[in-house]
Amino acid sequence: MKIYIIGSRRESGRGKKWVEKAHEVGLECLHSAWVTVPPDGDHPLTDHERHDVAAFCFECVRGADLVWWLLPSTPSFGASVEWGIAMGLQKPRVVSGDLKLTAFSEHCTANFETDEMAFDWVVRRMLKCSR
């Protein structure tokens, strides 16, 4: 199963943790720009870089079998846009974190207050789909 994990670049440690755990159980994680691109304060992106990152993220959402949104504690415009793309494409979606941060956390296949609960759900779904 191919998954795309959405999150904030400002919380890259959180994202990297779940990408690693997903790989450990055999999930294919499509590239997440927020994992590899430093936060804006560390390295502001050029216009060209921002365009390339946005186009690549769109293709990753489009190619995913499931999209998981790690709701960030700080605003992330990119994550919100990616979630909107996933909604528009009617991708199966799971969200984890403080669900009260956005009404869009209710527009999903499943939502959880913790990343651990969401990850367990994703793994169960993967096993169910592989049968």
Domains for the chain: give ranges and CATH numbers.
Answer: 2-125 (3.40.50.1220)
Per-residue pLDDT of the chain (131 residues; tens, 9 = 90+): 999 999 887 888 888 899 999 999 999 998 765 555 665 556 677 888 888 888 988 999 999 999 999 998 887 888 889 999 999 999 999 999 988 888 888 889 999 999 999 999 999 988 787 76
Q: What is the DSSP string of the chain?
A: -EEEEE--GGGHHHHHHHHHHHHHTT-EEPP-HHHHSPPTTTSPPPHHHHHHHHHHHHHHHHH-SEEEEE--SS--HHHHHHHHHHHHTT--EEEES-GGG-GGGGSSSEEESSHHHHHHHHHHHHHHHT-
The pTM of this model reads 0.88
